[in-house]
Amino acid sequence: MNEQGNKAAVKGHPRTGIKAIVFDLYGTLYDVHSVVQRCDAAYPGRGIDISTMWRQKQLEYTWLRSMMGQYISFEQATCDALVYTCNRLKLDLDETTSTVLCNAYLNLSPHPEVPAALQRLKDMGLPLAILSNGSVFSIDSVVKNSGLQEYFTQLLSVERIGVFKPDLRVYTLACEALGLAPHEILFVSSNAWDASGARYFGFDVCWVNRRDNTFDELGTAPSYVVRGLDEVPEIVSNT
């Protein structure tokens, strides 16, 4: 999307009013690559390589498991992806190292602008929720360990229905929990595949494009494009 398109996406597309905001967790609120330091400690000089491949395989395993109708917990998908990554990179992985690295996913760091942005949105009186592929345990752990639990009224996991995003059934969980129609919810994600699924479901969608990526060609587009969560309050105030 070009610069003009980005500006239009941020400033336009008014609706009858946003009544709640639902956030993706991994990558959107929290930096999945904050595990690099732990990876480097275990395998010096290989941290970014491990983190990048690990995250990609983690995502692929959630999609493939959903397609096969073989749901497993997000923690298991994360562990399986780490095993693959170490095998692929020819790195020895023992049980202790696996536990240490997988636990790093329970202690992810929020992106720098996130706490202040959440405070501004909370001050606007909007219910804020998380809808994540994580399990109940993993979502609760990440949010509590970062000290951000006060901002959210709902922490929603795909665990309840046993299928991962972007299956459209997942997005129904937010409507049911908040008692709102899809068009009354602004869904915020940094993952283009997730943003596409949410848009097909009927949410207004804000894509957080921190790294100047290209949106996936999946037949739809986000309602808004921002470079960080600190721009989301502007969207809310302009609708």
**Enzyme catalytic residues:** 24
Contacts of 118 (CB under 8 A, 6+ apart): 128, 148, 151, 229
| Contact indicator for 142, 136 with CB cutoff of 8 Å | no
Burial 45-62 (b: 16+ CB within 10 A, else e): ebbebbbebbbebbbebb
The letter for the amino acid at 143 is V
